[in-house]
Amino acid sequence: MKQKKFVLTENEMPTQWYNIVADMKNKPLPPLNPATKEPLNPADLEPIFAKGLIQQEISQEKWIEIPEEVQDLYKIYRPTPLVRAYGLEKALDTPAKIYFKNESVSPVGSHKLNSAIPQAYYNKMEGIKRITTETGAGQWGTALSFACKLFGIDLSIFMVKVSYEQKPYRKSMMNTWGAQVVASPSTLTESGRKILAENPNSSGSLGIAISEAVEMAAKDPDTRYALGSVLNHVILHQTIIGLEAEKQMEMAGDFPDVVIGCFGGGSNFSGIAFPFLRHTLEEGKKLKVIAAEPSSCPKLTRGVFQYDFGDTVGLTPLLPMYTLGHNFQPADIHAGGLRYHGAGSIVSQLVKDHFVVAEDVPQLETFEAGTLFARTEGIIPAPESTHAIAVAIREALRAKEEGVEKTILFNLSGHGLIDMASYDQYFAGKLQNYSVSAETIADNVSKLEHLAEKF
Ligand SMILES: *Cc1c(COP(=O)(O)O)cnc(C)c1O
């Protein structure tokens, strides 16, 4: 019998997260204070983030202990399985071996819980009573709702309006776990009111929702803000994915030639990729690492490397990133979690230094890939995850053309069971591809100050 699943016991679960910054020769550029344009003093972040998370944000230590309480809660769904996708391989008639790490088994249906649990934990340790956050497709909001409930913290969520309308069951899930959810842009914050005054029909964006959540946290001393992607501490937490996968690939007697993750702000991608990339940084191991992004929001393939805000209104520190400009309004694609204008600063530096490459995928190709995956492997993937599947399929077909064996690993970041309306529209032929004109990108990024050159 061929072995399909590689499963770790709870005792084999990693007890430390991996901080790739320790191994990077070119460190990410520092975040800047938006007022002075000088490197940020970490204490400036204290009104917004829990101190334990700020420490992780700036840490250069290679291995960071996972608190025992967090390890225990991870065991609700971790370790997650690594699966050999024999069905998909057969359908593609490829000589490539395809493995995927199945993060869809978490109770909220995605990898987001890997960071939601430690974020709620560090806030609880500091006596924080309430957290505010944004959510795009609703995955981060659901994850943080459950995590905050586990620690008895109140949670207010700004949900991007297009997803609020497309994915009503996500809101029901957040409510089940006890969180409050409003559609963003809302009239609850100055940021939301400003956007609505400019465009009453705004369908919202992650950037706008972040502005609203940060504003609300900054105004209350017992409230902190939590972000589900982009930042270094989020990426750190997600390395549990790749650290487990590394052990599981060992069980399978393999090491990947290609590692793929879909890319919103970079957390699940970094989570699967960085523990493998460690071997490239440490030993020069050859590895192709691909970030899969939507053609409608192509920050890595077509954006610029520059300092930009993490939000639309400009309340966050300036971060060094590949960006389409913080005013970029992505098309209303169904992969709501990938509709973000920028990339995290660690990944951006790694792209700049050619350790990571990016490929963009049009919407119809992603649903085609997702459907083939569902029909061969049984799991209906989240529209975000279908981007990784599409690129894995491209790689497998390249291997077939070239007649070479190749080991491909991708992260299945979540399932799509709450996204069936998107599949319905795909089957009804109602979905389309969106492209972004060069003028739109040039116009948006022309508004950025040229600050990266200073460092
Ligand atoms: C949020 C989300 C993403 C995108 O976010 P990253 O931080 O880039 O990982 C991808 N897949 C799923 C299922 C998500 O929920």
Q: pLDDT of 296-348, one tens digit each?
A: 999 999 999 999 999 888 889 999 999 999 999 888 788 878 988 999 999 99
The mean per-residue pLDDT over the stretch 65-88 comes to 98
Q: With b meaning 16 or more CB within 10 Å and e meaning fewer, what string describes 239-273?
A: bbbbbbbbbbbeebebebbbbbbbbbbbbbbbbbb
Q: Residue 261 CA: which ligand 1 atom is closest?
A: 9
Per-residue pLDDT of 28-52, as tens digits, reads 999 999 999 999 999 999 999 999 9
CA nearest ligand 1 atom 3, residue: 337
- Provide the pLDDT for residue 314: 87
Testing ligand 1's pocket by substitution, the residue of 321, 413, 419, 422 carrying the most ligand atoms inside 8 A of its CB is: 413
In a domain, 74, yes or no: yes
Testing ligand 1's pocket by substitution, the residue of 268, 347, 379, 417 carrying the most ligand atoms inside 8 A of its CB is: 268
* Ligand 1 centroid to residue 338 C-alpha, Å: 7
Q: With b meaning 16 or more CB within 10 Å and e meaning fewer, what string describes 186-217?
A: beebebbeebeeeeeebbbbbbbbbbbbbbbb
* Ligand 1 centroid to residue 185 C-alpha, Å: 21
In a domain, 297, yes or no: yes
Q: Residue 112 CA: which ligand 1 atom is closest?
A: 15
CA nearest ligand 1 atom 1, residue: 337
Q: Which domain holds residue 410?
A: 5-9+67-109+233-454
CA nearest ligand 1 atom 14, residue: 337
Where does residue 230 fall: left (phi above 0), alpha (psi -120 to 50 degrees), or beta otherwise?
A: left
In a domain, 372, yes or no: yes
Residues 6+ apart with CB under 8 A from 404: 95
The mean per-residue pLDDT over the stretch 264-277 comes to 98
- Provide the pLDDT for residue 10: 98
- Provide the pLDDT for residue 1: 67
CA nearest ligand 1 atom 2, residue: 337
The mean per-residue pLDDT over the stretch 161-187 comes to 95
Q: How far is CA 429 from CA 111, 369, 421, 433, 441, in A?
A: 30, 15, 13, 11, 28
CA nearest ligand 1 atom 5, residue: 264
* Ligand 1 centroid to residue 110 C-alpha, Å: 8
Give the number of domains in the chain.
Answer: 1
Q: Residue 136 CA: which ligand 1 atom is closest?
A: 1
The mean per-residue pLDDT over the stretch 129-134 comes to 97
- Of all residues in the chain, the percent with pLDDT exceeding 70 is 100
- Provide the pLDDT for residue 140: 96
- Helix (H) / strand (E) containing 5: strand 5-6
Tell me the β-bridge partners of 290.
260, 357
Where does residue 225 fall: left (phi above 0), alpha (psi -120 to 50 degrees), or beta otherwise?
A: beta
Cα 427 versus chain centre, distance: 27
In a domain, 156, yes or no: no
In a domain, 183, yes or no: no
- Of all residues in the chain, the percent with pLDDT exceeding 90 is 91
In a domain, 180, yes or no: no
The mean per-residue pLDDT over the stretch 249-277 comes to 98
| Ligand 1 first shell, C-beta below 6 A | 110, 112, 137, 139-140, 229, 262-269, 337-338, 382, 384-385, 413-414
* Ligand 1 centroid to residue 36 C-alpha, Å: 32
* Ligand 1 centroid to residue 339 C-alpha, Å: 10
Testing ligand 1's pocket by substitution, the residue of 103, 134, 139, 339 carrying the most ligand atoms inside 8 A of its CB is: 139
Calpha distance 353→420 (Å, rounded): 39
Q: Residue 264 CA: which ligand 1 atom is closest?
A: 8
The mean per-residue pLDDT over the stretch 203-214 comes to 91
Closest CA to 343 of 386, 379, 298: 298
> What is the overall mean pLDDT for the chain?
96
Closest CA to 413 of 143, 149, 214, 26: 143
Look up the CATH number of the domain holding residue 309.
Answer: 3.40.50.1100
* Ligand 1 centroid to residue 378 C-alpha, Å: 20
* Ligand 1 centroid to residue 367 C-alpha, Å: 16
CB 369 within 8 A of CB 88: no
Measured at the CA of 237, the angle between CA 42 and CA 299, to 5 degrees, comes to 80
Per-residue pLDDT of 348-392, as tens digits, reads 999 999 999 999 999 999 999 999 999 999 999 999 999 999 999
Residue listed under structure tokens 């369908």: 203
What is the gyration radius of the CA atoms in the chain, in angstroms?
A: 20
Q: Residue 414 CA: which ligand 1 atom is closest?
A: 13
Per-residue pLDDT of 81-130, as tens digits, reads 999 999 999 999 999 999 999 999 999 999 999 999 999 999 999 999 99
Q: How far is CA 395 from CA 100, 176, 292, 383, in A?
A: 14, 40, 12, 19
CA nearest ligand 1 atom 10, residue: 384
Per-residue pLDDT of 402-453, as tens digits, reads 999 999 999 999 999 999 999 999 999 999 999 899 999 999 999 998 888 8
